[in-house]
Amino acid sequence: MPNISPEQMRFWSPEVRELEPYVPGEQPKIQNLLKLNTNENPYPPSPKVVAAVQSVLIDSADVLRLYPDPDASALKHAIAKQQHVDVANVFVGNGSDEVLAHIFKAFFVQDKPILYPDITYSFYPVYSQFFGISTQTKILPLNDDFEIDVADYKQPNGGIIITNPNAPTSIALGLSAIEQVLQANPDSVVVIDEAYVDFGAESAVSLVEKYENLVVCQTTSKSRSLAGLRVGFAIARPHLIAALEAVKNSFNSYPIDRFAIAAAVASFEDQEYFVAQCQKVIVSRDKLVADLVALGFKVLPSSANFIFACLPSKDAGELAKALRERGIIVRYFNKPRIDQFLRITIGTDEQNQRLVDTLKHEILV
């Protein structure tokens, strides 16, 4: 952010002056960089995705003159088919960050407290502030094992958002626990952010027909290797989807461009590739965990494409710095309770081995 003087700041609206924006994981241009800091997939998307993107232009570059389908109907149909829901249950947005923003606006902007854990996706407090509901937000601490205690979510509220598996802890919550939250809150919307669900957790999409207050949010950025395209989606009953559509059409009618629609459709149609890539990441994760435990790390049980690990004998900030000096970037959060942990994205086996070798032979010697 450039240095802005108070005099220049007078042009900013009072609300914007107060904003504390989300800080995304860095995307540095360093030679021989090993980037394990933003939970991207280490594998490319399906070859069918690449062909679909190319065919947008090969068919006729003239299509770029025209707006894309504001409803992204082909994409909604592909998602509905893959998720075994009706197309009326699907909402799509420009990355799940945008879908989440619309969720906050559609359901959470009211005068009752919004509930979420103290350690969770750090965009939630940013949205709370952006939509003017931070003072109503009630932050509920995870227990000492960094788990969600569902009993905490049985109190008056104006909405609940839970990441499952949670980030950055990587720990998953079972569907019966999620059902307890849904049943205890029949009059508020319960959002389950499943950005990482495909790497080993149970999806709550199967509960959408049963609960009229459930919204499940997912993304193509992680398990489908499409972070660069920005496609996220929500699954819910049509009366909730209608609220999201109302917000979306009051903000940006064309959030998903032609390339993103074509690519995401191809990805949802190539289920075989998707399942195989997720499985590869899961197998690599288990090996990396074993290797890090052998080096003395404590690693929380992960159902995601990242792990949350600490090394009791070494300061996590120092460790992140030492890795960075050797071209390996992991995510360090200088925040209460988690400032001795590193969030490490699962790479390919070769990338993970480089991390382990660097720790073993260069840093922990």
Binding residues (CB under 6 A) for ligand PLP: these are 39, 95-97, 121, 163, 167, 193, 195, 219, 221, 227, 232
Number of residues assigned to the chain:
365
Smallest distance, Å, CB 93 to ligand PLP?
8
Report, in Å, the least distance between residue 250 CB and ligand PLP. Answer: 20
Tell me how far, at minimum, the Cβ of 39 lies from ligand PLP, in Å: 6
Tokens of 139: 């932050």
Q: Of 216 and 320, which has the nearer Cβ to ligand PLP? A: 216
Cβ atoms within 10 Å, residue 247: 18
Least separation, in Å, of the C-beta of 13 and ligand PLP? 25
| Nearer residue to ligand PLP within complex by CB, 158 or 232 | 232
In angstroms, what is the minimal distance from the CB of 64 to ligand PLP?
Answer: 24
Residue nearer to ligand PLP on the CB measure, 259 or 364: 259
How many Å apart are CA 345 and CA 43, to the nearest integer?
A: 12
Q: What is the largest CA-CA distance in the chain?
A: 60
- Looking at the Cβ atoms of 25 and 356, the one nearer to ligand PLP is 25
**CB-nearer residue toward ligand PLP: 158 or 165:** 165
Is the Cβ of residue 188 or residue 305 nearer to ligand PLP in the bound state? 305
* Closest to ligand PLP by CB, 192 or 208: 192
Q: How far is the CB of 346 from ligand PLP (least distance, A)?
A: 14
Q: Compare residues 192 and 359 and give the one whose CB is closer to ligand PLP.
A: 192
Our CB check for ligand PLP shows the closer of 95 and 158 to be 95
CB of 305 to ligand PLP, least distance (A): 10
Q: How far is the CB of 325 from ligand PLP (least distance, A)?
A: 25
Least distance between ligand PLP and beta carbon 8 (Å): 31
Helix 123-130 vs helix 95-103: angle between axes, to the nearest 10 degrees?
50
- Annotate the chain with three-state secondary structure: CCCCCHHHHCCCCHHHHCCCCCCCCCCCCCCCCEEECCCCCCCCCCHHHHHHHHHHHHHCHHHHHCCCCCCCHHHHHHHHHHHCCCHHHEEEECHHHHHHHHHHHHHHCCCCCEEEECCCCCHHHHHHHHCCCHHHCEEECCCCCCCCCHHHHCCCCCEEEEECCCCCCCCCCCHHHHHHHHHHCCCCCEEEECCCHHHCCCCHHHHCCCCCCEEEEEECCCCCCCCCCCCEEEEECHHHHHHHHHHHCCCCCCCCCHHHHHHHHHHHHCHHHHHHHHHHHHHHHHHHHHHHHHCCCEECCCCCCEEEEECCCCCHHHHHHHHHHCCEEEEECCCCCCCCCEEEECCCHHHHHHHHHHHHHHHCC
